[in-house]
Structure 1
């Protein structure tokens, strides 16, 4: 089915990804060297979408200033969800900007154009909505759907745990006008209107909801260490070209004695110093410097970051404007990571350094450390656990 418009849901913060989302929403966090949302736009444009309606909310300025009014010659209309009252509420906020059948997609997960096209092809005039689905062994952390042999969805559940064979909900939907009406009619839960509640309402009303099972690429970051897995998956599936002979940009300089071990991807205006080793599985955002004899492996290093001479950085995620001092050591995971009130054991995270963390050098990081933005760490310190933003750490 030919559909021109897509509603992209990009209003949420992504609280489980704090402290990286302190200054920007989850859709603007890096996947390789581009924001997650930019990958979403790429897949939509590749699937033939010619109009983007983007629902923004939390730190919407970061989205609008990055993309402006068009992306790859496709116009963008921004709609503001002033209060985050659920995904259903977000969809209804954008309803007036589309007409007829449209696509609805999560802006904080990457679903490739195959998934989008599979959903569009499965949608027909008998259906009020179609959901893109994936075969996954564990769907408990996401939404799931049960499907009859003819492709009709019979049940939609959030975090299903009843032992039945659910497909994973990929967060890609085709909506006819009746689907908007069902979202509006669904009862809110704890004051929020949920998209899945509206789709369940459609089924209860006797309307047909189709399921489109796809084998396309789908990746999501729920927790800080997932940002590593997302970028690595983009390398492994070829979405990001990590060939060490072709990485970088004409404005990037790599010293003759430096070593790049693919897969790696390097943004513009980066500098790799003498004797430095970068890779494998490394993403360097634009204007990043890796100084002499530093080692960076299996890491996502965001823009405007400096890695000091002789530093070791393994399984690390940084925000923007981070300074990792000379001789500092991030040895890689596994480590225990606290997110809110929960401790996740043995995760592959050496450390997470949020925006504008300054490490003065000779700092040792215990695996799983989370450092909040604007933190200043003096020379010779050992960092473990979670540090709140704005902390001054002395040895």
Structure 2
């Protein structure tokens, strides 16, 4: 019998989502108007979980401050992974919470309550771990598992490359306390202890590891443009309901094209067009005559009058000036030392980017945090944090 308790692994940064994660961890990035982690908590609670331990690390104070001691009347306990040494190491930090069968989930991916319920229902006495699995043609950069006809898992790996019938590991587990000892016995790889490697140790030792294939929704944002796809999918599946907060102000001459979610205390000016597939975070402003489509506009952001913002992701406190133009994707993007062609992103503007108006952003532009862009400039490529772009 699975206890109604869960451990949420939310200690990572999300380096491939930089510069959005400069000031907050990946679990606190928005999917719609709510952080990813809030969606995770909702799915756990809706599946019957009534006690949650959250493992925090990178920028963990952002999580603690946002949620406090409870969420939806469910108590939240926090433990800190002092050094980022892998998912197994993170779970080991929460050892005191694992005194019976416990649900473990990744806090930076969206796995809906159906997957949690399926894992809980499939976990049987004698199994050390039960893993939630999803059928996908391509596993790609994620984890995969081989499921036998009797429901046992014969192999679990990260980033599988062999042409075998892998199912995607959804990052939802029911675990027994034996997982902790397996983590201790598993050799670190590149200095990190992986939860997946610890589960492989259990399989190699002859312990029973079960898997269950779920038709629940599973989503992940690996790169910044994925946040747009995640939000669009949540709209299409009804996980995000189109809504205008009662405290928001939308001018009678503005046009709102559903699906759209407009958060608390937002303001949409005369003649503005917002949507479709657009999310405005709390206290965001869209000026008169501005157009915002297929975009994720975060908390306290400002879109100036007559600006055009398409396929855009912003951080918090961004100010897009009057008549500035983000024409939409696709565009070529550089993330670290990798280049991606034809991604569907007009621009990514990290926290507190400010432009002086009349700025043109070339599709695929990535602008770091605290950047100032002069009026009339053309911006392209990747702009590092705390720089000034001249006209």
**Normalising TM by the smaller chain, what interval?**
over 0.9
Q: 1:307 aligns with which of 286, 303, 306?
A: 303
Distance 1:184 1:45 in 2: 30
Question: What corresponds to 1:56 in structure 2?
Answer: 56
1:273 matched to 2:269: yes
CA deviation map 1:258-293 (0-9, x unaligned): 000000001000000000000000000000000101
Question: What corresponds to 1:158 in structure 2?
Answer: 158
Q: Is the 8 A contact 1:3 1:120 kept in 2?
A: no
Question: What corresponds to 1:145 in structure 2?
Answer: 145
CA deviation map 1:101-120 (0-9, x unaligned): 10110000010000000001
Partner SS state of residue 127, structure 2: coil
Question: What corresponds to 1:338 in structure 2?
Answer: 334
Question: What corresponds to 2:29 in structure 1?
Answer: 29
Q: 2:361 aligns with which of 365, 374, 378?
A: 365
Shift of 1:140: 2.1
TM-score, normalisation: structure 2: 0.99
CA deviation map 1:172-215 (0-9, x unaligned): 00001112221221111111100000000000000000001000
Q: For 1:224-239, list aligned pairs within 5 A.
A: 224-239=224-239
CA deviation map 1:337-395 (0-9, x unaligned): 10110100000000000000001100000000000010010100000000001111111
Question: What corresponds to 2:105 in structure 1?
Answer: 105
Question: What corresponds to 1:88 in structure 2?
Answer: 88
Question: What corresponds to 1:65 in structure 2?
Answer: 65
Partner SS state of residue 79, structure 1: strand
Q: Is the 8 A contact 1:312 1:328 kept in 2?
A: yes
Distance 1:279 1:208 in 2: 49
Q: Is the 8 A contact 1:302 1:319 kept in 2?
A: yes
Shift of 1:126: 2.2
Q: Is the 8 A contact 2:2 2:101 kept in 1?
A: no
Q: 2:389 aligns with which of 364, 369, 393?
A: 393
Q: Is the 8 A contact 2:98 2:176 kept in 1?
A: no
Q: For 1:217-228, list aligned pairs within 5 A.
A: 217-228=217-228
Distance 1:2 1:48 in 2: 11
Shift of 1:99: 1.3
Shift of 1:15: 0.2
Distance 1:178 1:205 in 2: 12
Q: 1:351 aligns with which of 344, 347, 351?
A: 347
Q: Is the 8 A contact 2:7 2:102 kept in 1?
A: yes
CA deviation map 1:142-164 (0-9, x unaligned): 00000100110000111001100
Shift of 1:222: 0.1
Q: CA RMSD in A?
A: 0.7
TM-score, normalisation: structure 1: 0.98
Partner SS state of residue 219, structure 1: strand
Distance 1:292 1:301 in 2: 16
Q: Is the 8 A contact 2:281 2:297 kept in 1?
A: yes
Partner SS state of residue 41, structure 1: helix
Distance 1:366 1:382 in 2: 7
Distance 2:93 2:193 in 1: 11
Shift of 1:97: 2.4
Question: What corresponds to 1:75 in structure 2?
Answer: 75
Shift of 1:96: 1.2
Shift of 1:63: 0.3
Distance 2:241 2:207 in 1: 43
Partner SS state of residue 128, structure 1: strand
Q: Is the 8 A contact 1:11 1:58 kept in 2?
A: yes
1:374 matched to 2:354: no
CA deviation map 1:204-237 (0-9, x unaligned): 0000000010000111000000000111111000
Q: Detail structure 1 runs of 4+ shifted over 2 Å in the superposition.
A: none
